[in-house]
Amino acid sequence: MEITQQLLNDVLELAKQAGEHSKVFYAKNLTVQTKSDNTPVTEADLFISQFLTQKLTSITPDIPVLSEENCHIDFNERKQWQAYWLIDPIDGTQQFISHTDQFSVMICLVQNNQPMLGVIHAPMLNRTYYAWREHGAFLIENGITKKLPKIQPHNRTQIKIAIGSSNPEKIRQSIKSPYQPEFIVYGSSSLKSGLVAEGIVDCYVRFGNTGEWDTAVADILLHEVDCKIFDLSFQPLTYNQRETLINPYFVMGNCKLDWQKIFQFNT
């Protein structure tokens, strides 16, 4: 499938529409259920998942959609896919429930097991990140679009680290001398990747389960600004190449820093 500017525009519009739906639910008292993996889900997650699946299918009828809320597709079937949409209707459901505003809608096109086009839309923050592999990464804020520049190296020993629910002490124990961490607690996984892409933090460390839908857009966004995602063995994440869709623990960080000199993980 050829990626075009029109397709990107369609995905941006879909993310915006999904964000407007999320605002309606955000103003309500929601019923929260617990999924089998012990994570929360609301009617907002389910509605937006169905909305995006239907809309994407109408735009690209021959491309399947894999959603966090509809991910029980046998590996023998999905490993045949040369292209598919990977969506997270609400990335940061707990943030959504807690009304921190730090949640997003995520849509990603994966081709040949590589994320190629993606959007992260944070409706309550009025911020949208998008990236197209080898075409750049961008941020739309208050209606103004700017291209994100390549991240630059630095020689500081103070490392700014975005975290969510990960244990900061465990992360601190993984950092080699003379480096010292400065932790910044922020919302959903996708928005923490945005902090890395903008150079606000040096890295985002996740010691906890996430799904491939949590990292796919970030993978493109970071690639386009000279950053990367790697697991605790310093290997890149994969997409639709394993039975499980659960990611290993990971770090998102500036490619210009030698992370093997900074971190030593007990894997």
Q: Which residues belong to the annotated binding site?
A: 68, 88, 90-93, 214
For residue 74, what is the DSSP state? -
Question: Rounded to an integer, what distance in angstroms lies between the CA atom of residue 267 and that of residue 260?
Answer: 13
123: Cβ contacts below 8 Å, ≥ 6 apart: 16, 19, 20, 22, 23, 104, 105
Measure the CA–CA gap between 131 and 149, rounded to whole angstroms. 12
* Percent of the chain as helix, strand, coil, to the nearest 5: 30, 30, 40
The residues, any chain, with a CB within 8 Å of residue 101's CB and separated by 6 or more, are 95, 122, 124, 125, 187
The burial class, CB within 10 Å (0-12 / 13-18 / 19+), for 243 is exposed
DSSP track, 206-253: E-S--BHHHHHHHHHHHHTTTEEEEETTS-B--SS-SS--BPPPEEEE
Residue 144: how many other CB atoms lie within 10 Å:
7
- The pair of three-digit structure tokens given for residue 36, joined into one six-digit string: 């089998």
How far apart are the two ends of the chain, measured CA to CA in Å? 38
**Which residues define the annotated binding site for Mg(2+)?**
68, 88, 90-91, 214
Sheet of strand 158-163, all strands in order from the earlier edge strand to the far edge: 180-185, 158-163, 203-206, 250-254, 227-231
Query: What is the β-pairing status of strands 250-254 and 227-231?
Result: antiparallel
Q: Which residues are annotated as a binding site for substrate?
A: 68, 90-93, 214
